[in-house]
Amino acid sequence: MNTKEEGHPIEVPHGLIHDWIGLLFIPNSSLAQTLAVVQDYDNHQNIYKPEVRHSKLLQRNGDNFKVFVQLYKRSLVTVVINADFDINFERFGTNRVVSHSYSTRLAEVEDAGQAGEREVPVGNAHGYLWRLHSYWRFEEKDGGVYVQLEGIGLSRAVPAIIGWLVTPLLRSIPRGTISSLLGATRAAVTNLRTKGDSNRAMANSSCYPSRLNVATLAAEIVPFEDSSGPGSEATTVSKKESGLRLDSGQPTRPARAKRYAC
Rounded Cα gap, residues 127 and 107, in angstroms:
9
State pLDDT tens for residues 144-182.
999 999 988 887 765 555 454 445 545 555 677 888 899
Domains plus CATH for the chain? 4-204 (3.30.530.20), 213-257 (no CATH)
Confidence of residue 90 (pLDDT cuts 50, 70, 90): very high
Query: Has residue 211 got a pLDDT over 50?
Result: no
Average pLDDT over residues 91-95: 96
Q: State whether residue 144 is helix, strand or coil.
A: strand
Query: Has residue 135 got a pLDDT over 90?
Result: yes
Give the C-alpha distances (Å, rounded to integers) separating 94 from 31, 32, 125, 138. Answer: 9, 10, 44, 11
Average pLDDT over residues 210-222: 42
Average pLDDT over residues 176-195: 90
Angle, vertex CA 131, rays to CA 126 and CA 134, nearest 5: 135
Q: What is the pLDDT of residue 138?
A: 98
Report the chain's terminal Cα–Cα distance, integer Å. 52
Spatial contact of 208 and 54, defined as CB atoms under 8 Å apart: no
Rounded Cα gap, residues 245 and 235, in angstroms:
10
State pLDDT tens for residues 239-253.
333 333 334 444 444
Rounded Cα gap, residues 42 and 79, in angstroms:
22
Flag whether the pTM goes above 0.75. no
Q: What is the pLDDT of residue 259?
A: 42
Q: What is the pLDDT of residue 157?
A: 65
Average pLDDT over residues 5-30: 84
Burial (CB < 10 A; 0-12, 13-18, 19+), residue 133, is: middle
Q: What is the pLDDT of residue 81?
A: 87
Choose among 232, 237, 231: nearest CA to 256: 237
Share of the chain above pLDDT 70, in %: 65
Burial (CB < 10 A; 0-12, 13-18, 19+), residue 198, is: exposed
